[in-house]
Amino acid sequence: MTNCVTVADRAFRRREGEGRCARAGSAGGVNPHELSVLFGSPDAGQLSQVISQATGPAFILGAVAGFVSILLGRINAVMDRIRHLNDISDDERVRLHLKSDIPRLQRRLGLLSSAVLLALASGVCTSLLLVVSFASAFLRLQHVFGAAVLFFLAVALLGVSLFKFGQEVRIGISNSAPADKHVRYHSGERFL
């Protein structure tokens, strides 16, 4: 008996439950029916299972989008504060001491920027997880291990992003602000 070594032959035997080697056509050829079994559309059960398993990653993707929006809002506020402090001229002796807060604000900006990049990487991993899940359903492949790795990576990246955000919040509310420890108002605008 000849060994069947092609992927299509193994997939056909597995799907059809045949224990023998089913070769069709010329020697070493592949039956078109075997390829349609391998690359055909998924059955309804497998597709519904993938759809039900996609709800968790979809919620994570929504959370990442909201989190990135919050981070970008904070980046804009810190950048506005840096711009206002840079606009203080050297002639203004009363407000000149506020410029010493710029390095702290730049540190916050760096933490926020890295948190955004990590959160976006988490979103990309989550999107890849959804694509891999549906692609493996259409190709009738097992996606459990690949999905687990992508899900772990997405959650780990989101966790590190949250940690960076926590560091920024700690710096933002710390008592190390140079002169004013309170929120200052200048011409109707709020400074952080």
Task: Give the tokens for residue 127.
Answer: 């999107």
Mean pLDDT value across residues 84-88: 87
The pLDDT score that the predictor gives to residue 28 is 54
Quick one: pLDDT band at residue 55, thresholds 50, 70, 90?
confident
pTM of the model: 0.67
Quick one: pLDDT band at residue 12, thresholds 50, 70, 90?
very low
Mean pLDDT value across residues 98-125: 94
Quick one: pLDDT band at residue 35, thresholds 50, 70, 90?
low
**Residue 49 pLDDT greater than 50, yes or no:** yes
**Residue 89 pLDDT greater than 90, yes or no:** no
The pLDDT score that the predictor gives to residue 134 is 83
Mean pLDDT value across residues 131-160: 86
**Residue 122 pLDDT greater than 90, yes or no:** yes
- From the CB of residue 144, how many other CB atoms can be counted at a distance below 10 Å? 11
Domain locations in the chain? 7-40, 46-191
Mean pLDDT value across residues 55-59: 88
Task: Give the tokens for residue 106.
Answer: 């730049």
